Structure formats: C-alpha cells, structure tokens
Structure 1
C-alpha cells in the first residue's frame, strides 16, 4: 500500500527543503488506505526553495505547466506567480508533478487569496509510513476551485476522517473564497 508515495519519499530524502505529498494521494494518506486510482502524484514545496528543487531535478526533463501549455524550465530562472506547477520526468518513465506553495511570516498562504493562511507548523501531517502530506483541508480548498467528480469523491471519502478544527477551517475558507460551493452544505451541519 502507498508504494508510489514511498518511492517519492525515498527520492525526496535528498531534498533539503520542506516537502509533502499533495492532491488525492494526500487525502488517501490521511484516511490510511487507497480509495481510488491516481493518474499522477503531486508534491508540494515552497516557492522560495526553488534553488533546492532545481538541484534535485537537475537530471530530469522539467517543464512549467501554464494554462494548457508546457514550457521547458531553465533551472536557473526563478518561477514567479501565477505559475505554480512543474512537471518532471526521467527517461526511465518516472514522473513527478511539483506544486509551488507560498509562505509568509510563519504561515502557508493560499496563492489564490493571500487572506487565507495556515500556520506552517501545522500545515502538514505524517502517515504511518513516515510520508509527509499536506493537510486534507488545504488539499480540499485547492480542489474546490475546479471541482471534478474525483474531487467530490475525495471530499466524501475523507469527510469522516476530518476533525472539527479541520472542518471549521475548510468551511471558513470556502465561505470566504467560494460561498456557493456544494461542500458547504455538508460542512455547515
């Protein structure tokens, strides 16, 4: 179980910055079982640690993903907002999606709305296998922007595993950023 996440953990051991599994895998790590198939694996890192990331991916083919386009990333050029997604692949078929996250003054900052933040010291958890993963409430906030069927499934699977603090934070974040999101109906009761 979680073989793909364990492979990423082994690879990321040499990364000197803070990293965590994001996306659907983070939801499954929180639950403690794989609830669905995943096409890819996403790793969240901080934008201000790009130099460390560039070193880690030096022998990979690395592209910036921006609005349905891919552009090769010159590892010496810093990536600025609004770009936040990097796709990396190796000739052996290994692939990794890296999501750049923002932080300021000891807090993770939501790139779509800097008024939403979370203490860095509490923004990620760790699985039984020692895999760091982004808190599910933060993952769900990202998924809420363009919600697909699999995102609704992720919400429904993880909802019973969220504590009251996590539900409250997600509820407040959605009320601030997407007041009509369908997940609010379940979060309000």
Structure 2
C-alpha cells in the first residue's frame, strides 16, 4: 500500500460552482452533502471573509462510495492514518477513524476537493468528536440563494472550537452577528459538552 506524507503536492481549490455541479448528482441518490469549512461560514454570512487553501465537502460515512461516482475518473486519497495519504481503492469502504479524502483529477494535477466523512444514526447526525452531540439530518445544513447546500454555521463552528486557529477565530467573529438565539444556544451546549469551559461560550451568551 502506497503512503505519502502530508503535505503531498499542491492545492488549487476547485471553484464553488464546479463543486456544486459535481456533487449535485448525489441529489438523485438521496445522499445529502454540504459545503463545509470556512466557505460554509462565508455562505452563512453572505460575504468573503478570507482566503481559502482548500474547499471542503461533507458527506455521511454511509454514503461515501457515492463520492467515487460523482468524481469518477479522479484520484482519491484517504488520510489513513491521519498525517499520511494512501490511495482509496474503488469500492473500498473506509472505516471509522478515516475522516478525510483528498481528490484531484489526475496524478499531475493539484488537489481540488477535500471530502470529509461524518457519522449518522438513522436520520440523525452524530458528531465524530462526541457521540452525545447530535441533531436531525434535516437541520444539519442550509441552502444558499444559488441552491448550494452548506453546513449550518453553528455546526461548523462547533468543529472549529476544538483547537481554534487564527482563521477559525476570524470565522467565529464573522459568524457571531448572524447567529440567532437558537443557533447560539445549540453551539454553547455542544462546545461545553465536548470541550468544557470555552471562551466562545461567553461571547455567544453575552
């Protein structure tokens, strides 16, 4: 099995319209997907916040093989173990513990899309960080004016709250004014359940 240390090659994130066009094919299969990461925050606030080194798409682990269909002909590499990359074989079901897949059109092309796998139980999303943090799949995301599904900002910020980097703090600052009371309460409950005392909780409740 071939492994490569990360970073491996260069990133040139695919434009959002191209990603949406590729993953729109999942709609016919009943497999949901969402733009994630910093772009999800930008879609929530409706403006550009910062530069992005990649573009993230979240799918449920149970739907992972649909990614190979919508990106047919591409190379797919799994971060297995984290910090290393290996080819993701056609039809291979990635187990728990493998959350990230790097995708590019060919061996000499830059990486274009990062796919992230998350968990579900029936019609309920289950955080891979903490199985106590859950919500209905139907409430996991929102849809932009252009019809692009994206992860709800409070869910994305929950993941960013683990070990916030400067860019995560920027995203939080930008999203805070647009979060309504129910979103703030959910995020406070989620981050305190998983991370304990957190400076973001005080600002959310302030």
TM-score above 0.5: yes
Q: CA deviation at 1:185?
A: 1.8
Q: Give the secondary-structure state (helix, strand or coil) at the position aligned to 1:88.
A: strand
1:129-144 equivalent positions in 2, closer than 5 A:
129-144=146-161
What is the TM-score normalised by the length of structure 2? Answer: 0.86
Query: What CA RMSD, in Å, does the superposition of the two structures yield over aligned residues?
Result: 1.4
Instruction: State the partner residue of 2:4.
Output: none
Greater mean deviation of Cα atoms: 139-148 or 154-163: 139-148
- Identify the range of structure 1 (153-162 vs 70-79) with the bigger mean alpha-carbon deviation: 70-79
Structure 2 match to 1:23: 37
C-alpha distance in structure 2 between counterparts of 1:69 and 1:80, whole Å: 16
Contact 2:64–2:93 (Cα < 8 Å) also in 1: yes
Match of 1:13 in 2: 24
Q: How many residues are matched?
A: 187
Structure 1 CA distance, aligned partners of 2:111 and 2:144? Answer: 23
2:7: which partner in 1?
none
Please list, as runs of the form range in 1=range in 2, the aligned pairs for 1:155-170 lying within 5 A after superposition: 155-170=172-187
Counterpart residue number, 1:121: 138
- Does the C-alpha gap of structure 1 residues 148 and 186 become closer, same or farther in structure 2, counting only changes over 3 Å? same
SS of equivalent residue, structure 1 residue 128: coil
Shift of residue 105, structure 1, vs aligned partner: 2.7
SS of structure 2 residue aligned to 1:125: strand
Question: C-alpha displacement at 1:51, in angstroms?
Answer: 2.2
Matched residue, 1:55: 69
Q: Distance in 2 between matches of 1:57 and 1:63?
A: 12
Distance in 1 of aligned mates of 2:150 and 2:52:
15
Q: CA separation in 1, counterparts of 2:122 and 2:21? A: 30
Query: Matched residues in 1 for 2:185 and 2:193: separation?
Result: 12
